[in-house]
Amino acid sequence: MRFDLPTPGFSFELLATLGHARAGILHTPRGDIETPVFMPVGTAGTVKAMTADELRAPPLDAKIILGNTYHLFLRPGMEVMSIAGGLHRFAAWDRPILTDSGGFQVFSLAALGEIDDDGVTFRSHIDGTKHRLTPEISMDIQRVLGSDIAMCFDQCPPGDADAATHEVALARTTAWAKRCRVAPHAPGQAVFGIVQGGIDTQRRLRHMDEITALDFDGYALGGLAVGEQLADTYRILDQVAHRLPAERPRYLMGVGTPQDLETAIAAGIDMFDCVMPTRNARNGYLFTRSGPRVNIPNAANRTDLGPIDPDCPCATCRTHSRAYLRHLYLAKEILYARLATLHNLTFYACHVRAIRDRILAEGERA
């Protein structure tokens, strides 16, 4: 079953379901994205340590990456991005890009100034300069970046926020979503709405109804994995994800571990992004198919001539030993970050692809 999305050129094809889990294809003007999909995070115009060629090469074969509006807005700034003709050209990445709205970073990274119903004033975490983001400004930045999927500007309360804080944030997020829905966007740019509501199921479902009524191209769950208990995250996923519109892609923002992804896919999620594979790689944590994560500086790896993961098809595992990677890590060599990032991103890609294959093999044709 193939569903046209509101934005011309975009459609979502549902191939199979297994319980709430779905396997499909998000068709975009810049290429097809097999779902479920993990999107590597390219914060500042680069997936850290990686070239576009490496991201595109199988077995990693990333079909879409994420760019951060907040970071790119501050540096290199919109004059450069505009002259460069958008983020694809600037970073020489020809496949789809999803940009977040900047909201999450304003609330987590920046020195927050006033927040009101119109928008947010904040100071840059780079140089302290004062800036303002509103739904219209966020959409305009994303228009200039030229991402294939833009996200609504939302307010994401912390995991321990009280009910009153949530209610204010929800009302604002809905009002801002309405403004984002009508703001100009780039040709061929889809827009996703974001459902907030913390870990209260009824609040989540109520907000879901408000946001889905606005008819976005896709829907995201925001405000999860922001400090709440994992059991609460999983409960919300179980109770909310499958209730999001079946004919639209569903995106869980900023999550998570390989287990989180598996749980969320079972709950009905199609798209993911997270800095975990890239950041963990740089910090010495490498994922393996069998057994726990490898902490590469551990003495056990000192003379270990085997790969990080003998079942991994990535160039790092096919070429290099744990002993070599440990040496590069301890010597603070740039090559370490490259090899480790390539491995962890390939691990995530293979992990999600294996789940997708299982849905296609064991599920019902949709």
Q: Is 273 a catalytic residue?
A: yes
Q: What DSSP string runs through 145-202?
A: HT-SEEE-------TT--HHHHHHHHHHHHHHHHHHHHS---TT-EEEEEE--TT-HH
Closest CA relative to residue 270, chosen from 173, 170, 149: 149
State the sign of the Cα–Cα–Cα–Cα dihedral 210, 216, 217, 222: negative
Residue 6 CB, nearest approach to a second copy (Å): 33
Residue 352 CB, nearest approach to a second copy (Å): 24
Q: Does residue number 361 form part of the binding site for a second copy (CB under 8 A)?
A: no
User: What count of other Cβ atoms lies within 10 Å of the Cβ of residue 253?
Assistant: 25
Q: Does residue number 109 form part of the binding site for a second copy (CB under 8 A)?
A: no
Please identify which residue in 1, 2, 92, 289 interacts with a second copy, judged by CB under 8 A. 92
Q: Which is nearer to a second copy, 94 or 114 (CB)?
A: 94
Residue 266 CB, nearest approach to a second copy (Å): 35
Residue 143 CB, nearest approach to a second copy (Å): 19
Q: Does residue number 66 form part of the binding site for a second copy (CB under 8 A)?
A: no
CA atoms within 13 A on the CB side of 95: 20
Residues in contact with a second copy, shown as a per-residue x/- string from 233 to 272 under the rule CB under 8 A = ----------------------------------------
In the block, tokens 């997936």 appear at 47
For 166, left (φ over 0), alpha (ψ -120 to 50), or beta? alpha
At 221, list the tokens: 């769950």
Q: Which is nearer to a second copy, 231 or 334 (CB)?
A: 334
Q: Is 94 a catalytic residue?
A: no
- Please state, in angstroms and rounded to a whole number, the distance separating the CA atoms of residues 270 and 211: 18
- Please state, in angstroms and rounded to a whole number, the distance separating the CA atoms of residues 331 and 329: 5
- How many residues in the shown chain lie near a second copy by CB under 8 A? 39
Residue 186 CB, nearest approach to a second copy (Å): 19
- Please state, in angstroms and rounded to a whole number, the distance separating the CA atoms of residues 212 and 236: 17
Q: Which residues of 160-169 are buried (b: 16+ CB within 10 A; e: fewer)?
A: ebeeeebeeb
Please identify which residue in 338, 343, 351, 356 interacts with a second copy, judged by CB under 8 A. 338
Q: Scanning residues 3 to 62, which ones bind a second copy (CB under 8 A)?
A: 44-46, 48-53
Q: Scanning residues 302 to 331, which ones bind a second copy (CB under 8 A)?
A: 302-303, 305, 315, 319-321, 323-324, 326-328, 330-331
Closest CA relative to residue 359, chosen from 60, 1, 36, 26: 36
In the block, tokens 């922001």 appear at 226
Residues in contact with a second copy, shown as a per-residue x/- string from 144 to 163 under the rule CB under 8 A = --------------------
Q: Does residue number 114 form part of the binding site for a second copy (CB under 8 A)?
A: no
Judged by CB under 8 A, the stretch of 114-122, 230-238, 249-257, 299-307 that binds a second copy is 299-307
* Active centre residues (catalytic): 100, 273
Binding residues (CB under 8 A) for a second copy: these are: 44-46, 48-53, 71, 75-76, 79-80, 83-84, 90-92, 302-303, 305, 315, 319-321, 323-324, 326-328, 330-331, 333-335, 337-339
